[in-house]
Structure 1
Amino acid sequence: MRQTWRWFGPKDLTSIDDITQAGAEGVVSALHHVPNGVVWTKEEIAKRHSEISTRKDGSASGLTWDVVESLPVTEDMKKQKGDWREHIANYKISMRNLADSGIETICYNFMPVLDWTRTDLRWQVAHGGSCMRFDIADFAAFDIHILKRPGAPADFTNAIADEAGRRFEAMSEDDKKQLARNVTMGLPGSTESMSLEDVQAHLNEYGAISRDQLRQHFIHFLEEVVPTAEDLGLRLCCHPDDPPFALLGLPRIMSTAEDYKYILDAVDSPANGMTFCTGSLGARPDNDLPAIVEQFAEKIHFLHLRNVKRDNDDIMGSFYEAEHLGGDTDMVAVIAAVIKEERRRKAAGRKDWQIPMRPDHGQDILDDLGRRAQPGYPTIGRMKGLAELRGVFTALEHGAFGLK
């Protein structure tokens, strides 16, 4: 696996110098400052390549921009409303500009409204560090009592709805505002939240779109962009829903192995693949992660390796971001399955035999606690995760003791 690191650009509190010292070989980045739906120009792409390849003192970092995460699929494209046709045309131009710059892998998602959802961005764990957490009762309190979404109570069990009511009554006004900010923080590369009015406006537009209809919109998007990706030698890889179950009455279409099979079969192409995220898929107890690697092995173009610890085995349940080897996912088994696939690809002569991975998220520890970086993206916590994962790779690939 090629070890990469997500970088949000020059404003990221983790610098290019930090990334080289952490031991990463490549960088995962995006042009977050470019509005969604607008073309990524060759000039802006070249500037990001230059920023990644240069240390603070002007010397070469040795790092390359390996994966785009993400080239955003706009809400208009998902809903097929407004300027969606223009956005698809611009998407293809951006793909071509990225390919011309040497990029081969583009990660994206098809989640409605929010790219991820958590209720606590600085939840304290036993060792004194912090992490992100999704608590179903807190989320229900937001949905039912703060957002006041019509029909929200029916989406939760009576026990969860009752607990949500008790928690809401115990919250101060500041607590309510903080919960709303946390839930609406899930924008790609963002340090700001949507307003409740913005969220409700999107929900109103999605209200008439069924799960099957959103699937068809996704397939239409792929039918448009995958031929372009094939021509350019690009690999597109869709990230799973985060969390992998329905929230806010919105359809979820990339949460299980069945979801991926449906989409990958519908537009069957080497350019149409998966971002295998152990954290997102691992939040559902019915997702068998090593089995999913084996099922979709040849279509996995990018890896997010992180772990979550679930409170219980409910499909729609609470969880927190655990240490990379400390959650409910058997990370060693997952990595072993990936190594087997890489060996198969190498023997078959595939040029993409080495799958890029990044240590996804991490707990805030040590100096991270005072740095308050992008939620989920601490410097030291991710470096610890990368070191742990690197240890697993090394052991499994050891000639005398590793996989045969």
Structure 2
Amino acid sequence: MKQTMRWFGPQDTVTLIDIKQAGATGIVTALHQIPVGEIWTIENIKERKQIIREAGLEWVVVESLPVHEEIKRASGNYLQYIENYKISLKNLADCGIKIITYNFMPILDWVRTDHNFINEDGSRALLYNQLAFTYFDVFLLKRPNAENDYSDDEKANALQFGNKLSEEEQALLFKNVLLGLPGSKINFTAEQILSLLNNYAEIDNNKLRKNLIYFLSEITPVADECGSKLAIHPDDPPFSVLGLPRIVSTEKDIKTIFEAVPSHANGLCYCTGSLGVDSKNNLEKIIDDFGDRIHFLHLRNTFHESENIFRESAHLEGDTKMEVIVEKLLLLMNKRNVSLPMRPDHGFLHAVDEKKETYPGYSLTGRLKGLSELRGLEMGIAYKLK
């Protein structure tokens, strides 16, 4: 596997030197400074690529080239935004960057209710608690008709949970759920999120899936022509939040997308964390069934404390048997004669990094630990397979 780390750009407190010294050879990044929907120019791409190259690294994956909300809704100026997306794909390919990760999650890229769950050793992890989220949705945000999405018992239990929170804890929960997009330090406000949710009032899973397939039918021929690979990231978490549709959560979802647009360029970012949260997803079978469409790897692990609570675990622990997954991926890469780019995802926050300002899940030491563990696991399995 080509070992990479995510870097949020020149403003990232984790530097390229940090990443190089951690042992990674590739960089996963994006031009977060460009507003969503606008064209990534060759000049902008080359500037970022040169910064990375001067540090002795290579920009190997875009994560992500974001999809404008109007494309997801097939409304407003969505056709122009699709044309802009095509141009950005071409410009990236002209600069030699040909693996493009994106997602089709409405509004929020991912959701956790606690960004500082304290592990036994004092390190901190990301956690999702359905009771906390229900309390946020119904009693803090007060989303219109949210109460219809939960049973009476769920609402009663959520209210009991929320009544134990101080005002400061309630404010922190609100902030955690409405964290801004990756690379941004700006959170959504209640007014903003309610307005954005209203735009999706008439869009269900079928409509969103139809819009995704149309989008892919437009951009995949461009990717084919450029020799590029599109890698859609699964929904995180893989179930509806805030009443929003979810269409990349299950094996069936993935199969539907691939059958609708059968080009090899229409591929998957295989994220063991996002897919693994749903115990009904068979991560090994996904490799078996869709291995030729996997273009990028996110390796992380999660642990279910109960039916309603999951948290990020150490990379080699948790509910997913990482040794089994890595062995299947190595066999897949041998079969395809490729080295897929991989990055460790959502590392713990360790004491050494606590005073540094980093995006939740993206402190240096936690990811370095994950990278070293995954590298060692890969080397051991590769030796066994010889």
Which TM-score tier does this pair reach, normalised by the shorter chain? over 0.9
Deviation at 1:173, TM superposition (A): 2.5
The reply to whether residue 187 of structure 1 matches residue 201 of structure 2 is no
Matches of 2:378 and 2:167, distance apart in 1: 47
Report the number of matched residues: 386
Q: 1:160 aligns with which of 150, 154, 159?
A: 154
Matched, 1:24 2:24: yes
In 2: Cα distance, 1:387 partner to 1:379 partner: 12
> Contact 2:60–2:98 (CA<8 Å) still a contact in 1?
yes
Quote the Cα distance in structure 2 between the aligned partners of 1:258 and 1:188: 28
CA deviation after TM superposition for structure 1 residue 187, in Å: 1.3
Paired residues of 2:110 and 2:237 also in contact (CA < 8 A): yes
| Deviation per residue, 1:114-145 (Å, 9 max, x gap) | 00001111111111010111111110011000
Which residue number in structure 1 is paired with residue 283 of structure 2?
A: 289
* Mapping of residues 183-332 of structure 1, within 5 Å: 183-312=177-306, 314=307, 317-332=308-323
Secondary structure of the residue aligned to 2:162 is helix
Q: Within 1, Cα distance between the matches of 2:102 and 2:341?
A: 15
Residue range with higher mean Cα deviation, 358-367 or 19-28: 358-367
Give unpaired runs (5+ residues) of structure 1: 55-60, 347-352
Query: Does the 8 A contact of 2:231 with 2:266 survive in 1?
Result: yes
Give the alignment partner of residue 92 of structure 1, picking from 63, 86, 111: 86
> In the alignment, which of 124, 130, 151 is matched to residue 130 of structure 1?
124
Which residue of structure 2 aligns with residue 368 of structure 1?
A: 353
1:119 to 85, 102, 113: 113
What is the CA-CA distance between 1:190 and the residue it aligns to? 1.8
CA deviations 1:275-324 (Å, max 9, x no partner) are: 00011111111111122111111100000000011123x4xx32111110
TM-superposed CA distance for 1:403, in Å, is: 2.1
> 8 Å contact 2:126–2:361 — kept in the other structure?
yes
2:385 aligned counterpart, secondary structure:
coil
Please state whether the residue corresponding to 1:311 is helix, strand or coil.
strand
TM-aligned CA deviation for residue 171 of structure 1: 2.5
1:358 aligned counterpart, secondary structure = strand
Q: What is the aligned partner in structure 1 of residue 328 from structure 2?
A: 337
The corresponding residue for 2:102 is 108
Tell me, in whole angstroms, the C-alpha distance in 1 between the residues paired with 2:151 and 2:329.
38
Contact 1:116–1:186 (CA under 8 A) maintained in structure 2: no
**SS of the counterpart of 1:132?**
strand
How many angstroms apart in 2 are the aligned matches of 1:310 and 1:153? 25
SS of the residue 1:62 aligns to: coil
What's the CA shift string for 1:242-284, capped at 9, x where partnerless?
0000111111000011000000110000110000001111111
How far, CA to CA, are the matches of 2:328 and 2:217 in structure 1?
30
* 1:121-178 deviations in Å (ceiling 9; x for gaps): 1111111010111111110011000111122223234433222101222223322221
Measured in 2, the distance between the counterparts of 1:21 and 1:159 equals 51
- State the match for 1:38 in structure 2: 38
Match of 2:368 in 1: 383
Structure 2 Cα separation of the partners of residues 359 and 94 of structure 1: 26
Indicate the percent of aligned positions where both proteins have the same amino acid.
Answer: 45
Greater Cα shift, 117-126 or 230-239: 117-126
What amino acid does structure 2 have at the position aligned with 1:403?
L
Which residue type is aligned with residue 128 of structure 2? F
Query: How far does residue 82 in structure 1 lie from its aligned partner after superposition?
Result: 1.5
Deviations 1:339-371 (A, max 9, x none): 01101011xxxxxx1110001110011312222
Contact 2:125 / 2:312 at 8 angstroms: preserved in 1?
Answer: yes
Q: Is the contact between residue 301 and residue 315 of structure 2 (CA under 8 Å) also seen in structure 1? A: yes
The superposition leaves residues 174-210 of structure 1 with CA deviations (integer Å, 9 ceiling, x where unpaired) of: 2222111110115132222111111111111111011
- Which moved further from structure 2: 322-331 or 151-160? 151-160
The SS at the match of 2:12 is coil
